[in-house]
Chain A
Amino acid sequence: GAGVSQSPSNKVTEKGKDVELRCDPISGHTALYWYRQSLGQGLEFLIYFQGNSAPDKSGLPSDRFSAERTGGSVSTLTIQRTQQEDSAVYLCASTLIWGRETQYFGPGTRLLVL
């Protein structure tokens, strides 16, 4: 693919509902990263994948957040029982291999929790 794609572009949900955010990395990229961009906290690292495994989940803000990656390609970030403080832009990035590589970002998903 031409670049990292994310869907949906925008998502409005009600407090307490679950949401799924999708990231499709650049074709052939083995590493995938999730970040969150919010007004109060700026840009924060959430989790990264090397292939289908996630060696470091320490950036996930709570156990309501989870992510998976299947087939070494598409990744899904799931937020359960959404709260208003989850409102943010969720950005995904990918690199060809892990480490020492420039991260290429998708356009993000803007999540608004009412």
Chain B
Amino acid sequence: AQTVTQSQPEMSVQEAETVTLSCTYDTSESDYYLFWYKQPPSRQMILVIRQEAYKQQNATENRFSVNFQKAAKSFSLKISDSQLGDAAMYFCAYERGSNYKLTFGKGTLLTVNP
């Protein structure tokens, strides 16, 4: 079974600084997708970034970028120029290709200090 591990239950960062959230996963599949979702106190799960395993290039979305190390099964999220609105719970998730179930990590609570 696939597992997703987020080893940092909590992280904090100063506004305008950079922070990296860690995620590792375990799978024997070669076709899969990885996601970072953000969940603010409103409970709405918001997609931050998506990475297809077959793509070597790391995905980026504005201030958010990933470091995808397929051999190491590592998928970290870097947030640059952190803003107060980035404060939330961040979940790493895995989806096997042509599947439908997302497997989530336990989450990392990010605090942004002014």
Contact = CB atoms under 8 A, between A and B. Distances in A.
Contacts of A108: 43-45
B106 A42 contact: yes
B98 A99 contact: yes
Interface of B: 33, 35, 37, 42-47, 50, 91, 97-107
Given A48-B101, A99-B100, A100-B97, A43 B91 contact: yes
Contacts of B91: 43
Contact of B100 (A43, A56, A91, A105): A56
A66 interface: no
Contacts of A107: 42-44
9 contacts: A42-B105, A48-B101, A89-B43, A100-B33, A102-B47, A105-B44, A107-B42, A108-B45, A110-B43
Q: Give the top 7 A-B pairs by smallest Cβ distance, nearest first.
A: A105-B45, A43-B104, A45-B101, A108-B43, A99-B98, A107-B44, A48-B100
A58 to B, nearest CB: 9
Nearest to A45: B101
Contacts of B103: 45
Contacts of B105: 42
B44 A102 contact: no
Nearest to A104: B47
Interface string A66-99: 0000000000000000000000010101000011
Contacts of B33: 100
A31 interface: yes
A83 B27 CA distance: 34
A43 B45 CA distance: 11
A59 B99 CA distance: 14
A103 interface: yes
A15 B11 CA distance: 37
B25 to A, nearest CB: 14
A103 B102 contact: yes
Contact of A91 (B42, B45, B98, B107): B45
A25 interface: no
A106 B35 contact: no
A99 B45 CA distance: 19
